[in-house]
A and B are shown apart, each in its own frame.
Chain A
Amino acid sequence: MENSSIIKIEKLVKRFPVGKTEFTALNDISVSFGAGEFAGLVGPSGSGKTTLLNIMGSLDSPSEGDVDVLGRSVSSLSHKQSAKLRNHHIGFIFQTYNLLPVYTVYENVEFALLLQKLSGSERKKAVMDSLEWVGLTDKVKSRPSMLSGGECQRVAIARSMVKRPEIVLADEPTANLDSKNSHNILQTMKNLNRELKTTFIFATHDEKVMQYLNRIIFLEDGKIVKDNLINDSKN
């Protein structure tokens, strides 16, 4: 890793209660991510990809070990501090897009900015810039129900990028998309990664995604089994 670490994970263990016993989802994970990486957590279902992504996004907390995100220890953050970290520094992209159905494209993208102290004109500029990145400036007034899956995911990307976060965490972003749309989406994210130096971390088992990654971390049964840096990535 050529860049300084913005996410640093050491000896992370995550257990979930299952009845009277516990299930270990992540076991002794130590890994770091630098600024501007385009990395992926790859592995079969139940390997712990999403759990690791959620902990890095401060949506969940570790059972053991340390997770530092942008210099903040996730386990020591209050709910309010976690919310602030997510709001200002982390963008999320979900498999099912998770767009707010009653909002227009513009409003969906604007939502994250409403939680920040920005003026109306600043918000408008940021939203339009973001929609321009994903090529949806002609759909600002459409509602999610009027968009295709690919368009919905592009809105989700715009929403995650509108606040110019340092990190974007994408959980299976292409799982619901056809091949053509998947490539479009990935190309968009790759461009944003290059232009804005935003760190993208994916949880995926989609080979199409892997083609674009600079780094692939293989997970199996909650453990990192391989961490590959790829210099010759697509595009």
Chain B
Amino acid sequence: MTQKTKIMLALKLAFKNLMGAGLRTWLNVSVLSFAFVIIIFYNGMIDGWNRQSRRDTQEWETGKGQFWHPEYDRYDAYTIKDAHAPMSEEIQAEVKKKNLAPVLITQATAFPQGRMQEVIIKGVDPEQTVLKLPTVTLVPSGDIDYAIIGKRMAESCKLNVGDRLLIRWRDKNGTFDAREIQIASIFKCDVPTVDKGQIYLSLDVLQKMMGMSNEVTMLVAGNGFINKDLKNWDFKDSAFLLADLDKIIQAKKAGGSIMEGLLLIIALIAIFDTQVLSIFRRQKEIGTYIALGMTRPQVVGIFTVEGGAHSILATLLGAVYGIPLFLLLGKVGISMKAAQMTDMAIAETIYPFYSLRLIIITIFLVVISATIVSYLPARKISKMKPTDALKGKLQ
């Protein structure tokens, strides 16, 4: 018998026996298919979130990378005071070409509705196109200094478009100053670090307020910017800038994998149990296979394939209800309104992303694990005496 014939025979026998087992098979297959669909669904959701968050963070905050003043540390507010330097002619030329978006950052205090709140003020070039921020509304008009804020900031400060807000800051000499700014627009952004506690002013206005003519804290690189070596500026690539997001995603994946693992274990225990029962109940059949001329490894192979075939049926069953479900979720998305209140970069609606890689890895995982748990009880067959098996007297 050729190897191909052996495999075909084992598969044929396996499916015949599985179909013959009726409800027992379908219960196992249902549980396994549920685990299969949940694994793909959850990972698809995380991947969708990851893709969406990365895209949003790049579009709204990090661009294709950032050049930081050497003193600047985004986790240390005390570094902001000294983290500024003038833009060289080379940088100004790139800014003009809209390849770089200059940003000046300072700390300040805002007084919304008579309350006091620490804020970060960012001066951004109104004509920049590197970031998605609606900076065009920052173009000065008369004596009014316009500002833009995010939806979260607007809600927390109870501010609306047209409202005036008193801000107080220290200039480069450490002198306090204050003035009123007017909210020109409120933008909706899924990246909390762009929104919460942030006020955006025109770069010129902030430079004048700070007495830092032509100075900036960082430069955000756009798609057109190729040079990654600007003298006296530290380049931070996307991997660095998105590291926090990656950590959150990894943590979510790890948390999810525990749930997936438990679900998979339940399904595998069901298969294991079925296999043990099957081998116990079908001793005469095993003896008959051997009497008809099969070797014991061949019989072990049949039972292993039979157990493993649960995973193939589970894949097919999972596809029957999983594909329409995934297509629907991919179209309407999953509401994440509650999660938007957190500090995670998460959109109001997440659109799951099911990659071919994810599907193949999941199928592989389910098939391999089902085959392993099927093989473990089947090994007992190799120790069976055919005469005892034929009598069905093994315990």
Q: Within A59-112, which residues are at the interface with B (CB < 8 Å)?
A: 59-60, 79-80, 83-84, 86-88, 92, 94, 96, 98, 100-103, 107, 111-112
Instruction: Determine the chain B residues whose CB is within 8 A of the CB of A116 once the complex forms.
Output: 1
Closest approach, in angstroms, between the C-beta of B364 and any C-beta of chain A?
A: 29
Say yes or no for A117: interface residue by CB 8 A criterion.
Answer: yes
Instruction: Determine the chain B residues whose CB is within 8 A of the CB of A112 once the complex forms.
Output: 292-293
Say yes or no for A18: interface residue by CB 8 A criterion.
Answer: no
Closest approach, in angstroms, between the C-beta of B381 and any C-beta of chain A?
A: 12
For the complex, would chain B's binding face be called helix, strand, loop or mixed by DSSP majority?
helix
Interface segment, B55-63, B309-317, B346-354, B385-393? B385-393
Say yes or no for A114: interface residue by CB 8 A criterion.
Answer: yes
Say yes or no for B248: interface residue by CB 8 A criterion.
Answer: no
Instruction: Determine the chain B residues whose CB is within 8 A of the CB of A96 once the complex forms.
Output: 284
Q: Are B294 and A83 in contact (CB under 8 A)?
A: yes
Given A83-B293, A87-B293: A115 in contact with B284 (beta carbons within 8 A)? no
Q: Are A115 and B1 in contact (CB under 8 A)?
A: yes
Q: Are A100 and B295 in contact (CB under 8 A)?
A: no
CA gap between A57 and B293 in the complex, in Å = 10
Interface segment, B15-23, B88-96, B106-114? B15-23
Instruction: Determine the chain B residues whose CB is within 8 A of the CB of A101 once the complex forms.
Output: 20
B291-306 vs A, CB cutoff 8 Å, 1 = contact: the mask equals 1111110100000000
Closest approach, in angstroms, between the C-beta of B288 and any C-beta of chain A?
A: 4
Q: Are B284 and A83 in contact (CB under 8 A)?
A: no
Q: Are A59 and B290 in contact (CB under 8 A)?
A: yes
Say yes or no for A5: interface residue by CB 8 A criterion.
Answer: no
Q: Are B293 and A115 in contact (CB under 8 A)?
A: yes
Q: How many residues of A contact B (CB 8 A)?
A: 28
Most buried by A among B5, B288, B385: B288
| A60 interface neighbour in B17, B293, B294, B387, Cβ under 8 Å | B387
A100's nearest neighbour on chain B, judged by CB, is B285
Q: Within B158-213, which residues are at the interface with A (CB < 8 Å)?
A: none
CA gap between A83 and B6 in the complex, in Å = 15
Instruction: Determine the chain A residues whose CB is within 8 A of the CB of B386 once the complex forms.
Output: 54, 59-60
Say yes or no for B134: interface residue by CB 8 A criterion.
Answer: no
CA gap between A87 and B2 in the complex, in Å = 15
Q: Are A59 and B390 in contact (CB under 8 A)?
A: yes
CA gap between A88 and B294 in the complex, in Å = 11
B6's nearest neighbour on chain A, judged by CB, is A115
Given A114-B9, A115-B1: A102 in contact with B17 (beta carbons within 8 A)? yes
Q: Are A60 and B291 in contact (CB under 8 A)?
A: no
Closest approach, in angstroms, between the C-beta of B287 and any C-beta of chain A?
A: 7
Q: Are B293 and A98 in contact (CB under 8 A)?
A: no
Q: Are A94 and B295 in contact (CB under 8 A)?
A: no
A180-205 vs B, CB cutoff 8 Å, 1 = contact: the mask equals 00000000000000000000000000
B385's nearest neighbour on chain A, judged by CB, is A60
Instruction: Determine the chain B residues whose CB is within 8 A of the CB of A88 once the complex forms.
Output: 293
Given A88-B293, A111-B292, A114-B5: A98 in contact with B287 (beta carbons within 8 A)? yes
8 A-B contacts, Cβ less than 8 Å apart? A57-B291, A59-B291, A60-B386, A79-B295, A83-B293, A87-B293, A88-B293, A115-B1
Which A residues are within 8 Å of any B CB, using their own CB? 51, 54, 57, 59-60, 79-80, 83-84, 86-88, 92, 94, 96, 98, 100-103, 107, 111-112, 114-117, 159
What 6 A-B pairs are tightest by C-beta distance, nearest first? Answer: A87-B293, A102-B20, A98-B288, A83-B295, A102-B16, A86-B293
Which B residues are within 8 Å of any A CB, using their own CB? 1-2, 5, 9, 16-17, 19-20, 284-285, 287-288, 290-296, 298, 385-387, 390
